[in-house]
Amino acid sequence: MTERSPPYQAHPPTEHLSGSIERVTFHSEQSGFCVLRVKVRGQRDLVTVIGSAASVTPGEYLECQGEWVNDRQHGLQFKALQLRSVPPSTIEGIERYLGSGMVKGIGPHFARKLVHAFGERVFDVIEDNPDELRKLPGIGPKRQARVTGAWAEQKVIREIMVFLQSHGVGTARAVRIYKTYGDASVARVTENPYRLALDIHGIGFKTADAIAQRLGIAADSLIRAQAGVRHCLQEVAGNGHCAAYREALAEQAVALLTIPAPVIEQAIRAEVGEGNLIEEPIDTRPALFLTALQRAEQGIAAGVRRLQLRLPVWGHIDPERAIPWVEGRTGLALSPSQRSAVAAAIKGKVTVITGGPGVGKTTVVRSILDILAAKGVEMLLCAPTGRAAKRLAESTGREARTIHRVLEFDPKAMAFKRDQYSQLKTHLLVVDECSMVDTALMNQLLRAVPTPAAVLLVGDVDQLPSVGPGSVLADLIASGVVPTCRLTEVFRQAAASRIIVNAHRINAGRLPEHAHEGPADSDFYLIPCNSAEEIQDRLLRVVLERIPQRFGLDPVAEVQVLTPMNRGGLGARSLNVTLQQRLNPSSAPRVTRFGWTYAPGDKVIQLINNYDKEVFNGDIGRIAAIDEEEGLVLVEIDGRRVEYEFGELDELSLAYATSIHKAQGSEYPAVVIPLAMQHYMLLERNLLYTAVTRGRRLVVLIAEPRALAMAVKRVGSNLRLTKLRQRLIEAAADAPGLEDETP
């Protein structure tokens, strides 16, 4: 019989180590992993401690159990198996602790004041006698309230974090949970952890599922199966689809949850029964919709039908007279296709005008607006993004706003003030960049349009569809229900631009014209490369040297790198780190949160819609300042300064490089596009076409020839599953004849 070693010999005995945290070299809010430099009694040099903690702050006192390890790269370290930090008790530690920015409103300068005034009593003063703070110069009621409020919040958050960290939630997410649920956080999480995936930005199903299992919710329970089914359908919606075929969704849920198929079928029935999902066929195949998306599709079809029931409020306008009049007024002769588009719009109630760059969409829209303005027609102009609205205003000479501003979005109520009960005051609504408008937003927009009014939808249907679910513009055109004018003729002036010529070549399935350098005045360059490494080398030279030297463009403010993916060596994340090091290497102060390090001068992009701040997914800005005292980052976006607390920085990422999807609706003076076989999964014609058409003055395409050929050739492999086209056709078939509402 083999003798077994005693259990305690399986691991070396642990040691105890304690000291004050001098510096937090690294801390991941997501995983809790940290690298700390600790001052330990009896040790002359600082000790490196690695471990995991919910929260670590310079100045705190550290108690840990672990073992010494000799890392090949970093040398001797203490690997903490258990790590606990407590507020410091020494004057020096308290000052460092308070000055670290952990409490909003207290930075290094104010921390020094507090410690000098109150010494070791400072924590008690803040918590129990906050009025004493007012004795200090420069501390008024407002600042006192901020400090005491932030301290109280920190205390509650720490208690909640102990619970959440023990169930796998990192510090930053714990803060968001607290801000959403308040003091009821622990109760809410315990009651139904799957709510986190629905309610908290940055927490996905996997995190919620891990918490649920730690709380003892059975792996094959119905509550888990229902949450998993809904999560799978939300993932489908996140990829742009409005629905999923029932069979495919069930298979996806079984694979995700490893739950028997009968339990998943029961969960689907329960979700449908509770009204979270709606089941109906698409082309005779059973499909499932998230309820909100199914209702939105129905709303769009009903809205189009309602508007088409009546003639325009301005009555009959004779195109044979109106078009020569507007040509004489503008001095521009319209082409036959442009004349048809103008005629359709002044006669119609819902009209689509589509076409690529250089085909005269702007001229058509301006002509329509001039004709209708002469008739006294009231009009509203809007676009999905601030930049697109600004371009629309510049091109038409009329005020244009974002769709959210037109609909008067109320961030407190998270609802639009303009809807079917309080409609817009207009005779004509013009919506530009319509390919970007998703199903939910188009439904909100049409609900707010009064029945006598007309709608003009303008966009390029060959671009990428909206980031949100649906392909509204394509479905409207494909239905045949809405009069559509497709402009295809590239005008002579536009044809001088190689950007426009090559955009149309790509859209027609042809490779862009091959030129390493092109003529001296060219605005389009194609640089072939043999590998991803060569693409990166050329990209850095182009951005940092060639474009600034040859075209005089600022590499941060005026050059945008657009890449198909976020991950990988040529993904947005990796390129951002490299470009930041080269373009903004030594700025201070710096702040590191959520895996990014930010400094004044950095270019950043907003990742989600934040209605309180009035900044939206895809907005790009520059960091103007970092206020360590207040724990704030100030970002300049479209001429105004927006404040972000350090805990909100997961709403931003660096933007020296962005994904092509994030660039929809935006234009940049210069665009640099890397295209490699590592982007294989996303290489499609509309992706490349969208990227090329983002460049206003210059486009540089740096590509592996195989990747470029694949992108030009591939069409429609990612077609979105929707039922809108069918709903539009059915609604039109049910509609009665037109009524004339002419006054």
pLDDT tens digits, one per residue of 506-530: 999 999 986 544 455 789 999 999 9
Q: How far is Cα 616 from Cα 618, in angstroms, rounded to an integer?
A: 6
Element (H, E) at 172: helix 171-181
Q: Flag whether pLDDT at 102 surpasses 80.
A: no
- Provide the pLDDT confidence category of residue 1 given band limits of 50, 70 and 90: very low
Q: Is 447 helix (H, G, I), strand (E, B) or coil?
A: helix
Q: 524-535 in b/e burial notation, b at 16+ Cβ within 10 A?
A: bbbbebeebeeb
Task: Check pLDDT > 80 for residue 203.
Answer: no
Residue 538 has pLDDT above 90, yes or no: yes
Which 8-state DSSP code applies to residue 615?
B
What is the rounded distance in angstroms from the CA atom of residue 250 to the CA atom of residue 88? 53
Would you say 620 and 636 are in contact if contact means Cβ atoms under 8 Å apart?
no
Whole-Å CA distances, 382 to 366, 408, 444, 455: 14, 12, 14, 11
Average pLDDT over residues 558-570: 91
Return the pLDDT at 271.
95
Q: Tell me, what's the pLDDT at 122?
A: 82
| Mean pLDDT value of segment 289-310 | 96
- Asked whether the predicted pLDDT for residue 453 surpasses 90, the reply is yes
Report helix, strand or coil for 254.
helix
Q: CA 478 to CA 3: how far, in whole Å?
A: 77
Residue 390: what are its φ and ψ, rounded to 5°? Answer: -65, -40
Q: Give, as one character, the DSSP assignment of residue 645.
A: E
Ligand-binding site membership of 658 (annotated) = no
- Enter the tokens of residue 394: 């510049």
Q: Please report the pLDDT score of residue 8 as a whole number.
A: 31
Write down the pLDDT at residue 594. 75
Instruction: Give the lowest-confidence range in 133-142, 413-422, 549-558.
Output: 133-142
Pairing of strands 603-606, 652-654: antiparallel
User: If DSSP codes are grouped into helix, strand and coil, which group holds residue 79?
Assistant: strand
Asked whether 78 and 50 are in contact (CB, 8 A), the reply is: yes
Q: Is the pLDDT of residue 572 over 80?
A: yes
In contact, 535 and 646? CB cutoff 8 Å: no
How does strand 668-675 pair with strand 695-703? parallel
Cα gap 220→449, rounded to integer Å:
47
pLDDT category, 26, cuts 50, 70, 90? confident
Residue with tokens 């895996």: 595
Cα–Cα distance, 336 to 332 (Å, whole number): 13
The overall average pLDDT reported for the chain is 86
Mark residue 397 as left, alpha or beta (left: phi above 0; alpha: psi -120 to 50; beta: remaining).
Answer: left
Helix (H) or strand (E) holding 601: none
Give the pLDDT band (50/70/90) at residue 553. very high
In a 13 Å sphere around the CA of 192, the CA atoms on its Cβ side amount to 11
d(CA 46, CA 23): 10
Backbone φ, ψ for residue 706 (5° rounding): -65, -40
Measure the CA–CA gap between 659 and 617, rounded to whole angstroms. 12
Q: Residue 9: its pLDDT value, please?
A: 36
Tell me the backbone φ, ψ of residue 145, rounded to 5 degrees.
Answer: -65, -40
Instruction: Report the C-alpha gap between 591 and 632 in whole angstroms.
Output: 10
Q: What is the DSSP letter of 467?
A: S
- Pairing mode of beta strands 33-39, 15-27: antiparallel
361 is in an annotated binding site: yes
Mean pLDDT of 666-679: 92
Task: Give the CA distances from residue 244 to residues 231, 251, 386, in Å, rounded to whole numbers and listed in that order.
Answer: 12, 11, 32
Q: Is the pLDDT of residue 230 over 60?
A: yes
CA distance 230 to 268: 9
359 appears as a binding residue in the annotation: yes
Strands, E, within 596-734: which ranges?
Answer: 596-598, 603-606, 620-627, 632-637, 640-645, 652-654, 657-659, 668-675, 695-703
Q: Please state the rounded mean pLDDT for residues 199-217.
A: 82
Q: What is the pLDDT of residue 55?
A: 67
For 295-317, letters b (16+ CB in 10 Å) and e give: ebbbbbbbbbbbbbebbbbbeeb
Residues 280-300, mean pLDDT to the nearest whole number: 96
**155 in a known ligand binding site:** no
pLDDT of residue 266: 96
Dihedral sign of CA atoms 460, 465, 467, 469 in order: positive
Q: What is the set of domains in the chain, with CATH numbers? A: 15-86 (2.40.50.140), 310-490 (3.40.50.300), 497-703 (3.40.50.300)
Listed ranges 109-123, 607-621, 704-718; the one with the highest mean pLDDT:
704-718
Residue 161 tokens read as: 């974090």
Residue 362 annotated as binding? yes
Neighbours of 265 (CB within 10 A): 16
Tell me: pLDDT of 465 over 70: yes
- Pick left, alpha or beta for residue 355 (phi over 0 → left; psi -120 to 50 → alpha; otherwise beta): left
Query: 191 or 438: which carries more pLDDT confidence?
Result: 438
pLDDT value at position 189?
85
**Region of poorest pLDDT, from 200-204, 397-401, 544-548:** 200-204
More confident of the two residues 731 and 105 = 731
Mean pLDDT of 142-150: 78
Residue 39 contacts residue 19 (beta carbons within 8 Å): yes
pLDDT exceeds cutoff 60 at 241: yes
